[in-house]
A and B are shown apart, each in its own frame.
Chain A
Amino acid sequence: MQYKAPLETYTGRIKEVIIGRGAIAVKIGGENILPLHYFEGTAVNRTVIALEVDDNSAAGWAGWVVEPFKDVVSDPIKWARRCMELGADLICLHMESTDPQGANRPAEEAAALVKEMLSKVDAPLIVYGCGDEKKDVEVLTRVAEACKGENLLLGPAVKENYEAIARAVSENGHCIIAQTPIDINLEKELNVKLLKQLPPQRIVIDPLSSALGYGMEYSFTIMERTKQIGVIHGDMAMQIPIIADLGGECWKTHYAKANGEQGILWEGITAMSLLLAGANILVLRHPDNCRMVKEAIEGKF
């Protein structure tokens, strides 16, 4: 008699979210299994890798991670094209230049850049504001309007500003990043509130991703529990894909700044860990890690 391994089956399924439109669109989520448990059910979509582009010429980035892009860092369009050539599934544009504490670039200009990138780079786009809760409303609203119907993934929406950002996202046909500070209860609360304005197919959770040695295990636990609660316990408010925006966190550590090889490992190990925890999008900075993590996702080692 042939041995048949016992399999767990679950009742919940993560919603599928589409980013971008037409032939280049990527799909994430849709799984009814725990992370990487391909043998238990259908993953539908595997985890995707976004490479990060900074609109502020990589100011403050460690030299090691600027190296592969050093000839294009002052041109976000060329930088984004390079990322796609290097194997990224999508682009994550961080609009650091809009920070009122820094260059304070106006929302209008930021929106123009995103629009230009859409027209010149064949890639689905994630756009992060600078993290200033007031300025982000302005910037993300203008971006949403200027790129109406393009199905961008926009954020971060936080508890102080989610209503306005969700309105702009809803009215202009985009998706939203729901960001909470590494707290499962606050994460659920924001999801519940956003679900009154948007369908779950338009939301992605950002629980904040800490780097190895700087609290990664907290991010890991939150992602792991989010999947368990959504997939095993069937909690609708948690059946939402996760984005792990970890590149910046890793490359700002002392260890990554001190030594390039160490930096690549730092980002790689953090990315692999959060992949295991259940992240559906990994945002990375270094192309070597893009390649390495993709191989892992495809089961090559």
Chain B
Amino acid sequence: MILIGENIHIISKVIGEAIRNRDAGPIQSLAKAQTEAGADYLDLNLGPARKDPEQAGGWLVETVQEVTDLPISLDTMNHVAMEAGLKICQKRPILNSASGKADSKAYMMPLAVKYNTSVIISVLTDQGCPPDVDSRVESIMDTIACAGGLGIKTEDIWVDPIILPVSADQKQVREALEFIKILPDLLPGVKSLIGLSNLSNGAPTPLRGVLNRTYMIMMEKYGLYSAIVDVLDPELMELNRGGLPEVRELIHKVMDGAHIDMAALSERECNYVKTARVLLGESLYSHAWLES
């Protein structure tokens, strides 16, 4: 799976301040750390970039490119900042992201054509996030038709089903999984992507990793192409390299409904099994899901 490093994000206090003060230090050190950890792309999340968007977009891309050769996924809803950044990317970037919103179709999608980028297209519309598989399908078909009309090539489209926190809406977690499963039949040739860590937003911080890693393996089984993740989680990176085969096998068994003898498992293995059951919606989520 292609992994995009999520850590340079405006919501982080340190990064937010560094972007506002144009302080390259913290940003470059995170860029280096994620490069060394094995990321395939670096996501640069600028947020709405209301103040001086043109300068901000350009500065951030330049700052990161000074210390890494990795291609960039530029993440902002401000199309001015987006264009300023895309313009100076040395490697073919990802535009993160476009959606079915009217503004996005009008201002974001044309940038993907103009700068020849890959583009993440989410199922969001002006009405918000579609609540189930069918409405996600309806939304994405419509948006992709629009992208095609603008001249964006199928293989450059990375579809994002939008992952919501399991602690807020457990059913949506399952719906997104189903969506990824049927996507290749629905839209042959498009790629897929998820923002993985939002899954565990709101869950107890020390337990976020096991949620994220389990869901990554589940999504991988259904053919997910890429994910924006915490590449500084060594166990996640090891799993993505094919390590911990016993964990992967266990998660697959849960998905296949096979019988699992919990007594024969280590604590770590038990935790993966319990987590997979929660993410499949077989067991009701609570913050204490590993304790029962």
CA distance A185 to B283 in the complex (A): 11
CA distance A236 to B283 in the complex (A): 10
Q: In the complex the two chains form, is A237's CB within 8 Å of B292's CB?
A: yes
Per-position 1/0 for A167-208, Cβ under 8 A of B: 000000000000000001111110011011000000000000
- A72 part of interface (Cβ distance < 8 Å): no
Q: In the complex the two chains form, is B292's CB within 8 Å of A192's CB?
A: yes
Q: In the complex the two chains form, is B286's CB within 8 Å of A236's CB?
A: no
Nearest-neighbor residue (CB-CB) of A195 within chain B: B292
Interface residue ranges of B241-287 to A (CB < 8 Å):
282-287
- B185 part of interface (Cβ distance < 8 Å): no
CA distance A185 to B288 in the complex (A): 9
- Given A192-B292, A237-B292, A229 and B286 contact (CB-CB distance below 8 Å): no
- B167 part of interface (Cβ distance < 8 Å): yes
Nearest-neighbor residue (CB-CB) of B285 within chain A: A185
Q: In the complex the two chains form, is A192's CB within 8 Å of B283's CB?
A: no
The smallest beta-carbon distance between B43 and chain A, in angstroms, is 29
- B52 part of interface (Cβ distance < 8 Å): no
Nearest-neighbor residue (CB-CB) of A159 within chain B: B287
CA distance A252 to B146 in the complex (A): 55
- B66 part of interface (Cβ distance < 8 Å): no
Nearest-neighbor residue (CB-CB) of A226 within chain B: B284
Q: In the complex the two chains form, is A188's CB within 8 Å of B291's CB?
A: no
- Given A195-B292, A237-B292, A189 and B287 contact (CB-CB distance below 8 Å): yes
Nearest-neighbor residue (CB-CB) of A189 within chain B: B286
Q: In the complex the two chains form, is A229's CB within 8 Å of B291's CB?
A: no
CA distance A189 to B288 in the complex (A): 5
CA distance A229 to B282 in the complex (A): 10
- B288 in complex: contacting residue of A192, A233, A235, A236, CB < 8 Å: A192
- A143 part of interface (Cβ distance < 8 Å): no
CA distance A189 to B170 in the complex (A): 15
Q: In the complex the two chains form, is B167's CB within 8 Å of A236's CB?
A: no
Q: Which residues of B contact A195 (CB under 8 A)?
A: 292
- A238 part of interface (Cβ distance < 8 Å): yes
Q: State the interface size on chain B (CB cutoff 8 A).
A: 11
Q: In the complex the two chains form, is B288's CB within 8 Å of A184's CB?
A: no
Q: Which residues of A contact B282 (CB under 8 A)?
A: 233
CA distance A233 to B292 in the complex (A): 15
The smallest beta-carbon distance between A171 and chain B, in angstroms, is 23
CA distance A189 to B292 in the complex (A): 9
Q: Is the interface of A mostly helix, strand, loop or mixed?
A: helix
Q: Which residues of A contact B291 (CB under 8 A)?
A: 192-193, 196
CA distance A229 to B291 in the complex (A): 18
CA distance A235 to B283 in the complex (A): 7
Q: Which residues of A contact B288 (CB under 8 A)?
A: 188-189, 192-193
Q: Which residues of A contact B292 (CB under 8 A)?
A: 192, 195, 236-237
Q: Which residues of A contact B283 (CB under 8 A)?
A: 233, 235
CA distance A184 to B283 in the complex (A): 12
- B286 in complex: contacting residue of A192, A196, A233, CB < 8 Å: A192
Q: Which residues of B contact A196 (CB under 8 A)?
A: 291
Q: In the complex the two chains form, is A235's CB within 8 Å of B286's CB?
A: no
- B287 in complex: contacting residue of A185, A233, A235, CB < 8 Å: A185
CA distance A196 to B287 in the complex (A): 15
The smallest beta-carbon distance between B40 and chain A, in angstroms, is 34
Q: Which residues of B contact A233 (CB under 8 A)?
A: 282-284
CA distance A46 to B31 in the complex (A): 63
CA distance A300 to B47 in the complex (A): 62
The smallest beta-carbon distance between B174 and chain A, in angstroms, is 14
The smallest beta-carbon distance between B286 and chain A, in angstroms, is 4
Q: Which residues of B contact A238 (CB under 8 A)?
A: 284
Q: Which residues of A contact B286 (CB under 8 A)?
A: 185-189, 192, 237
Per-position 1/0 for A1-35, Cβ under 8 A of B: 00000000000000000000000000000000000
Q: Which residues of B contact A192 (CB under 8 A)?
A: 286, 288, 291-292
CA distance A185 to B292 in the complex (A): 13
The smallest beta-carbon distance between B114 and chain A, in angstroms, is 45
The smallest beta-carbon distance between A181 and chain B, in angstroms, is 14
Nearest-neighbor residue (CB-CB) of B166 within chain A: A185
Nearest-neighbor residue (CB-CB) of B292 within chain A: A192
CA distance A11 to B59 in the complex (A): 61
Per-position 1/0 for A128-171, Cβ under 8 A of B: 00000000000000000000000000000000000000000000
Nearest-neighbor residue (CB-CB) of A225 within chain B: B284
CA distance A196 to B291 in the complex (A): 9
Per-position 1/0 for A218-254, Cβ under 8 A of B: 0000000000010001011110000000000000000
The smallest beta-carbon distance between B52 and chain A, in angstroms, is 42
Interface CB pairs A-B, < 8 A, 15: A184-B284, A185-B287, A188-B286, A188-B288, A189-B287, A192-B286, A192-B288, A192-B292, A193-B291, A195-B292, A233-B282, A235-B283, A235-B284, A236-B292, A237-B284
**Top 3 A-B pairs, shortest CB-CB distance:** A189-B286, A188-B286, A192-B288
Residues of B within 8 A of A (CB): 167, 170, 282-288, 291-292
Excluding A185-B286, A188-B285, A229-B284, 18 further A-B contacts by CB distance (< 8 Å) are A185-B170, A185-B284, A185-B285, A185-B287, A187-B286, A188-B284, A188-B286, A188-B288, A192-B288, A192-B291, A193-B288, A195-B292, A196-B291, A233-B284, A235-B283, A235-B284, A236-B292, A238-B284
